Structure 1
């Protein structure tokens, strides 16, 4: 998808304007819950291995 357009080709492109509408329609609200958790461990001994984990959770509930 690395096609390059010439100026002539770009001038020939057309656009269409979409009709207006409300994004959520009427009275709506959403609850958003987000959680970030991270843990890291590096034991202080010979031949130890550092380990880490991270989790991100996002929950959106629209009413």
Structure 2
């Protein structure tokens, strides 16, 4: 990472973002659809001194308008 000099810092400019209402086109609608799924399975039935392995899957889907 390079250090900025005072001259370089003074050369920077800042611009304010528009308000949220402007970004939303004045509809005031902001919602998100979230779907999540967790799945896991393991089978170890009627056996002695054995081990079972489990696999797990996770899926998350987010859609925002």
TM-score bracket for the superposition, by shorter chain length: 0.5 to 0.7
Match of 1:4 among 2, 5, 9: 2
Q: Which has the higher strand share?
A: 1
TM-score, normalised relative to structure 1: 0.58
TM-score, normalised relative to structure 2: 0.57
- Larger Rg, first or second structure (1 or 2): 2
Number of residue pairs aligned between Structure 1 and Structure 2: 56
SS at match of 1:30: coil
Q: Which has the higher helix share?
A: 2
C-alpha RMSD of the superposition: 2.5
